[in-house]
Amino acid sequence: MGVLSTSIITIENKCNQTVWPVIYSWQSQVSMTGFALKTGEVRDIYAPTSWFGLISARTLCSTDSTGTFSCATGDCESGKIECPSSYSWAPVTYAYFRIDNSRVNSHTASVEYGYNLPLMVVPSKSSRTCTSSGCVLPPLV
């Protein structure tokens, strides 16, 4: 019997609308790739201790009469709430995480490919070397 260690990334929706987070992983996968998160809702993501990936969010999503799911921003073009294993760089704000067997951990908030939501990454209170980072102004529409 082995013990599988994980790192917890908590996502909290502080927006005044539902958002649909997307999780894309390189190599090790997390258990979900897309879900709805209502205003004020919190969800823990359990990442393997050796993981790197990004988390972004889609907005203004709906399902049409044929059952096809789509979003105005950050759509992953799967037609479903879950996103495929490949990720096209939609114009979204995203957070990139690198968890390296609990030795070297890093995060970056980025608007490299666009900006659709305010985003803030806040390290756990146990972190003495990392600071919060993000983009907190609402996007211009």
Dihedral of CA atoms 26, 14, 111, 43 in degrees, nearest 10, equals: 0
Quote the mean pLDDT of the chain: 80
Q: What is the mean pLDDT of residues 96-104?
A: 73
Domain layout of the chain by residue ranges: 6-120
42-51, 65-74, 96-105: which has the highest mean pLDDT?
A: 65-74
* pLDDT at residue 19 is higher than 90: yes
pLDDT value, residue 2: 39
Give the pairing type, strands 50-63 and 69-73.
antiparallel
pLDDT value, residue 4: 47
pLDDT value, residue 62: 96
* pLDDT at residue 112 is higher than 50: yes
pLDDT value, residue 101: 64
* pLDDT at residue 16 is higher than 80: yes
Q: What's the CATH fold of domain 6-120? A: Thaumatin (2.60.110)
